[in-house]
Amino acid sequence: MSQSPAPSKNIFDPVLNICAVIGASVLNMLASIGTLTAFAGRSITHAFSLPFFVSNLGRQMMNIGYYSLPVVGMTALFTGMVLALQSYTGFTRFNAESAIAAVVVLSITRELAPVLTGLMVAGRVGAAIAAEIGTMRVTEQIDALTTLSVNPYKYLIVPRVIAGTLCLPLLVLVADIIGVFGGYLVSIHVLDFSPSNYLYQTWDVLTTNDVVSGLTKAAVFGFLVTLMGCYHGFNSARGAQGVGAATTNSVVSSSILILIFNYILTQVFFS
């Protein structure tokens, strides 16, 4: 680009340039949303037609569900514990210590268990999916599937997305229990609450809707995380750099989508 000010230059040029940049990025974004939607649509239609790779689904459920248990359990335990501790320091000012059990169980089941589990799984599983499928793309393994008459959507993507959608609610159910248990531990052993009172207050405030809304969120997050991992991996650019970018994009985009959909689903359930 030359820096010399051309005399014939239109004074609106800088403005037009800015408009062009904004326009280009908006068009880019719309194009990405379009390809992502097409990708999701294709994945879903392939999920409802044969053949179905059952053993792949089993392996993915092991990977996404079972092997995520430790990290999800730790997250839930410490979140429940810190929640009890923080609400105690706040609530003692208003003599409202009895509300701690309610705060712990409602925040865990409605918000924290699904969102934190979703984010942890996005980091653990979404990244791994994007890296694995991206490497398969780069080394022509996906093309090889096609030449062996196996549809890559059915073989690679459908099992992962279904496993994610099924496993996340189960993980969140475990996280709910461990999270409440963490709050219980701190309340009983650090804050000297009565165990029976705490459990009674927990049970008293909890409704089916709290748990069901959390599990529904979890299913949506599981779908999003695995879909984004597959999408970015499947469309990975050539080379190590391409796979690296696919991994990063998968984690960032699924984390953001989790937060956006968390708000939307909360609005749907509780308004």
Partner 1 sequence: MTSVPYKIEMQNVAKSFGPKNVLNGIDLQVPAGKSLVIIGGSGTGKSVTLKCILGLITPDSGTIKIDGEDTSFVSGDERDRIMRKFGMLFQGGALFDSLPVWQNVAFGLIHGKQIDKKQAKNIAIEKLDAVGLGAQVADLFPAELSGGMQKRVSLARAIATSPEIIFFDEPTTGLDPIMADVINDLIVKCVKDLGATALSITHDMASARKIADYIAMIHQGKIIWFGSVSELDHSNNPYVDQFIHGRATGPITEKAEYTTRRA
Contact between 47 and partner 1 by CB under 8 A: the answer reads no
Nearer to partner 1, 48 or 263 (CB): 48
219 in Cβ contact with 169 (< 8 Å): yes
Least separation in angstroms between residue 237's CB and partner 1 is 13
Q: What would the x/- binding string for partner 1 be over residues 92 to 111, using CB under 8 A?
A: --------------------
Binding mask 142-161 for partner 1 (x = CB under 8 A): -xx-xxxxxx---x------
48 vs 94, beta carbon nearer partner 1: 48
Please report how close the Cβ of residue 138 comes to partner 1 at its closest, in angstroms: 9
Q: Which stretch binds partner 1 (CB under 8 A): 15-23, 72-80, 107-115, 134-142?
A: 134-142
State in angstroms the smallest separation of the CB of 155 from partner 1.
8
Q: Is 51 in the site for partner 1 (CB under 8 A)?
A: yes
Q: What mask of x and - would describe binding to partner 1 in positions 154 to 193, judged by CB under 8 A?
A: -x--------------------------------------
Complex with partner 1: residue 3 or 147, whichever CB lies closer: 147
CB closer to partner 1 out of 150 and 173 = 150
- Map the footprint of partner 1 across residues 232-261, applying CB under 8 A: none
- Hey, how many other C-beta atoms are within 10 angstroms of the C-beta on 34? 10
- 225 neighbors 258 (Cβ within 8 angstroms): yes
Total interface residues for partner 1 by CB under 8 A: 14
Q: Which residues bind partner 1 (CB under 8 A)?
A: 51, 136, 139-141, 143-144, 146-151, 155
